[in-house]
Amino acid sequence: MYNLGATLRIAAFRRFEASRLDSGAAQLTALLVLSVLFEAAVAALACAPAMQFNPWAIRGLAFDFLLLLAAGVFGARRAGAASALRAWMPLMIGLGLSVCFGPLSLLWTLAYRLVPDIGNTPLPLIVSLVLNAWWLCAALRGLDRFDPQVSAGRGIAGMGFVLVILSAWLIPRQYWFYPDYPQEPRPRLSGEVVSEMVLDLQPRLLVSALDALAPQRPGRVDSYFVAFAPYAEEDVFLRESRVIRKLMDTRFDTAGRSLLLANNDRSLRELPLATGSNLRRALAAIGRRIDRDEDLVILYLSSHGTASHELVTRYPPLRLGNVRPEMLRAWLDAAGIRFRVLVISACYSGGFVGPLRGTDTLVMTASDAEHTSFGCGSESDFTYFGKAVFDEQLRLTHSFENAFHAALPILRQREAAAGERFSNPQIEVGAGIRAPLARLEQRLDRSGQ
């Protein structure tokens, strides 16, 4: 197939015969199928041995396809030529180069699996920059050699290549497969959550918990703590949140200023439910109590996370909506909470960092946007992340940042010992929150808590 051979020559920055190119649908379909197969093979290799197919990946492929097709059509019209080959050329070059670079992506993914710590070096970023720059330069050069006389059309079509690269960096993409880890047997839920007694009790539990929150104390950095454990079918999230709340009360002076929302049969008559609406109301109530120019709000969310970056909120037979990072940010903004310490312990939770970042915000997550975290299950007392950062390191320091960095080698060792890929937890600290965090740390250190 000359088209594929031509794109190999384009990738090597060598000349090709434009007159021999075939713009037929069969050729383009063949290149598209080969490109998808290589992408799927890379995703499968990254997730093996347990994986699930992700149909949402087709959105990214369709976006690139339509972008390059539109660039070619507009470029051909601007050039005053109706040549089908000129209109299809950007798409043909883009797909062909994706096929040519497929083996390189497979080799890099294999290296990533064989050397787990490679993800903690600058090498992945360097490789990504090199491959993307190579792809872009080869595509632009190939378009130039196809028709160097048509400057206006070439410029528009060339912008298609640039936009494809930029979109891949700026718009989160879905992979064709994602890891599928065996789930432990889930306990049978009682269904009492829909009983008349509980339906009557639950609103009063929330009102009582919010009314019991102590006011802030003028002239000092007070910290308020909210734990959110919304997954009812595994007890680890409730167990972990209870221990962390007690830790915050005893070591971070949140006693009387802490709140736990949970979905679990064991806490149904004791704690308000962990729903998005209850979390929004809790944040609003705290926002009315704090001095927004000095007090901190610490929010700990622990649940399963999805590859599309949502925190799973589940308590059958109730139909509850998942929590998205944009929703959480809107609730915090509406509550007038300025200084925020946000902790998300879930798979793919790194996807929360971008939407939640801010000058006055510290965000830490149990994994990056593309990896799972570990330790959940009905028999577990802690997730790996919650254990290392909170139950261990925050008993030794009052600095969230120091605790996070001290926990990283511990997490890496434990996950490797369990045969798992490093979850790659993330942290981002805004410049504006460092001062109140330092004042809180100094106060707690002096008090000996």
Paired tokens of 130: 């090199």
* Of the candidate ranges 111-115, 145-149, 220-224, 335-339, the one whose mean pLDDT is the lowest: 145-149
CB 344 within 8 A of CB 203: no
pLDDT band at 3 (very low <50, low <70, confident <90, very high): low
Q: Which SS3 state, helix, strand or coil, does residue 152 take?
A: helix
pTM: 0.63
Most confident of 102-106, 143-147, 194-198: 194-198
In the predicted model, is pLDDT for residue 149 greater than 60? Answer: no
Of 271, 301, 273, 296, residue with least CA distance to 286: 296
| Three-class secondary structure assignment of 234-287 | CCHHHHHHHHHHHHHHHHCCCCCCEEEEECCHHHCCCCCCCCHHHHHHHHHHHH
Q: How far apart are CA 6 and CA 17, in angstroms?
A: 8
Strand, helix or coil for residue 426: strand
Tokens 């609003």 — which residue? 284
Domain span(s) for CATH 3.40.50.1460 in the chain: 201-447
CATH of the structural domain 201-447, one choice from 3.40.640.10, 2.40.10.10, 3.40.50.2020, 3.40.50.1460: 3.40.50.1460
The pLDDT mean for the chain works out to: 81
Residues 6+ away with beta carbon under 8 Å from 440: 221, 223, 252, 296, 398
What SS3 state is found at 349? helix
For residue 152, the model assigns a pLDDT of 44
For 273, the token pair is 């439910």
Q: What is the mean pLDDT of residues 200-215?
A: 94
Give the position of tokens 């960095």: 405
Q: pLDDT digit string (tens) for 367-394?
A: 999 899 998 876 788 999 999 999 999 9
Strand order of the β-sheet with 223-229 is 258-262, 223-229, 296-302, 339-345, 361-365, 426-429
Q: Which range is least confidently modeled, 90-99, 127-136, 142-151, 318-327?
A: 142-151
- What's the average model confidence in pLDDT over 31-52? 71
pLDDT digits (tens, 9 = 90+) for 294-328: 999 999 999 999 999 999 999 998 999 999 999 99
Task: Kindly report, residue by residue over 44-84, the tens digit of the pLDDT.
Answer: 776 666 666 766 666 666 656 665 566 555 555 555 554 55
